[in-house]
Homo-oligomer: A and B are copies of this chain.
Amino acid sequence: MPLNSRIERSIARAIAAGQRGQAPPKLAAALDYAVNPGGARIRSAISLSVSLACGDDQPVVSNAAATAIELVHCASLVHDDMPCFDNADIRRGKPSVHKAFGESLALLTGDSLIIMAFEVLASAAAAGPARAVGLIRILGESTGMPGGICAGQGWESEGKIDLGAYHRAKTGALFTAATRMGATAAGYEADAWAELGARIGEAFQVADDLRDALYDEETLGKPAHQDEVHNRPNAVSQLGVRGAIRRLEDMLSGAIASIPSCPGEAALCEMVRKEAERLTPVIPAQYLV
């Protein structure tokens, strides 16, 4: 089955489990709305690609890892869009969850998706209990405090920002989780895979900064120029457009170079290369002179 179908099927199964029986109908609908139609599913694609590169000997566990990462990512988008954070009306080209369902259901949607992510991993314990527990540990570490995406968001409320800790937590943690969890799901040691995730994460952050600065809301499918509006530290304000593009290219080369030896190494390099092309924004002519 192609990578993307595996991810979509596994996500759909998790959402359906959260909607069964006597679930409150609006919250049940909001769960689905928050994760479908998805974005690029890039974090889960990375996780599953790493599992495949490591042999994918327990596909149920690999699917669970990829799904859990996507669920917490979607949860973070739902909470991040809320009025007390970015107050974003649009996400993936449609009204954000709090715009479509109201704030209280948006808050609960995020909470429920976080919890669902851990449930998905726990349910993989039947196939491999040690791996499931390892995955739950990594997911917790990369989403909560003191170093996960919650911590990253938390830095935005501080007067003095520790920029390194901020980026590592806000964006990096979940990419590092993706490669580490992909490896863990296939029975490989997680830590050797952290660098690949960290480099892809940094590249993704720079690409995101570039798109936020260069594209408009219609192209992005969400509000543009948010870094400038919220005066957030970003690669374009620090390095300029051309500097940021060079940084992006370096990071992706570093990512490919960091891939540990594994059965599917060549295919994984190819996947990262393709992802890199997709990530790199189309640069308006005036910056290419």
Q: Please list the residues of chain A having a beta carbon within 8 angstroms of any beta carbon in chain B.
A: 17-28, 31, 75, 79, 82, 84-85, 101-105, 107-108, 110-112, 114-116, 118-119, 121-123, 125, 129-130, 132-133, 136-137, 139-141, 143-148, 150-151, 153-158, 162, 165
- Closest B residue to A22 by beta carbon equals B165
A-B contact pairs, 6 of them (CB 8 A): A22-B162, A23-B147, A26-B154, A85-B104, A112-B144, A119-B136
Roughly how many angstroms separate A232 CA and B17 CA in the complex, as a whole number? 28
- A148 near B104 with CB under 8 A, answer no
- B146 near A19 with CB under 8 A, answer yes
Min C-beta distance of A93 to chain B, whole Å = 25
- Copies of this chain in its oligomeric complex: 2
Roughly how many angstroms separate A184 CA and B264 CA in the complex, as a whole number? 40
- Closest B residue to A130 by beta carbon equals B129
Query: Cβ of A79: which chain B residues have Cβ within 8 Å of it?
Result: 107-108, 111
- A145 near B18 with CB under 8 A, answer yes
Query: Cβ of A31: which chain B residues have Cβ within 8 Å of it?
Result: 145
Roughly how many angstroms separate A64 CA and B214 CA in the complex, as a whole number? 48
Given contacts A116-B140, A119-B141, 10 further A-B contacts (CB under 8 A): A27-B154, A84-B102, A85-B104, A105-B157, A112-B150, A112-B154, A115-B150, A118-B136, A122-B136, A133-B133
- B133 near A145 with CB under 8 A, answer no
Min C-beta distance of A232 to chain B, whole Å = 14
Roughly how many angstroms separate A82 CA and B104 CA in the complex, as a whole number? 9
- B108 near A154 with CB under 8 A, answer yes
- Closest B residue to A138 by beta carbon equals B122
Query: Cβ of A102: which chain B residues have Cβ within 8 Å of it?
Result: 84, 157
Roughly how many angstroms separate A194 CA and B147 CA in the complex, as a whole number? 36
- A108 near B21 with CB under 8 A, answer no
Roughly how many angstroms separate A103 CA and B85 CA in the complex, as a whole number? 9
Known: A107-B79, A146-B20. A158 touches B25 (CB 8 A): yes
